[in-house]
Amino acid sequence: WSTTPDYLITLASIANAAGRQGGKGDMGASWQQIWVPWLRIETTATPTAGSAITLAWAASPSGTAANDNPGGCTGTDAAFSDADLFNQLIILGSINCDNAASVQQEPLGEFRMPLRYGMPVVWNASGVALDADNIQMGVIMVPKIETF
């Protein structure tokens, strides 16, 4: 596997205490098992110090957007508004916000991709909305290639 899959997710203007789900993607028939997810965000104003913006993964056994998705996900780039349902997803990690309105980017560790299909979901608990454009924001899923 030599490419990083693309998942449409619009992070622009996500309000505090709200989220966004990305479109369902296909990792391929022989998908890489270990992934390093990165989250890059920008807020509209100074976030609350110590608050977080969290990335989760909604794994699915089905390639059809609306089928077999956890946490009420639709498989399309859409709003996600239920914090309780967010906790049903695979939590990949969080950016712990500092008190500066700037671009923040972090790798969120490693995780094992459990199923061929899935989508990213972002939850904003920073105290402020995310920036109004997607220019400096995104979710990047990087396959970890191990050689022996």
pLDDT digits (tens, 9 = 90+) for 35-88: 999 999 999 999 998 999 999 999 999 999 999 999 999 999 999 999 999 999
Question: CB of 116 within 8 A of CB of 62?
Answer: no
Cross-strand pairs, 124: 18, 53
Based on its alpha-carbon atoms, the radius of gyration of the chain, rounded to whole angstroms, reads: 15
Phi and psi of 71, rounded to 5°?
Answer: 65, 20
Cα gap 33→144, rounded to integer Å:
8
> Which pTM does this prediction carry?
0.92
pLDDT, averaged across the chain: 91
Average pLDDT over residues 101-120: 92
DSSP 29: T
2: pLDDT strictly greater than 60: no
Question: What is the model's pLDDT at position 1?
Answer: 32
CA 7 to chain centre: 9
Residue 74 φ/ψ region, left for φ over 0, alpha for ψ in the -120 to 50 degree band, beta for the rest: alpha
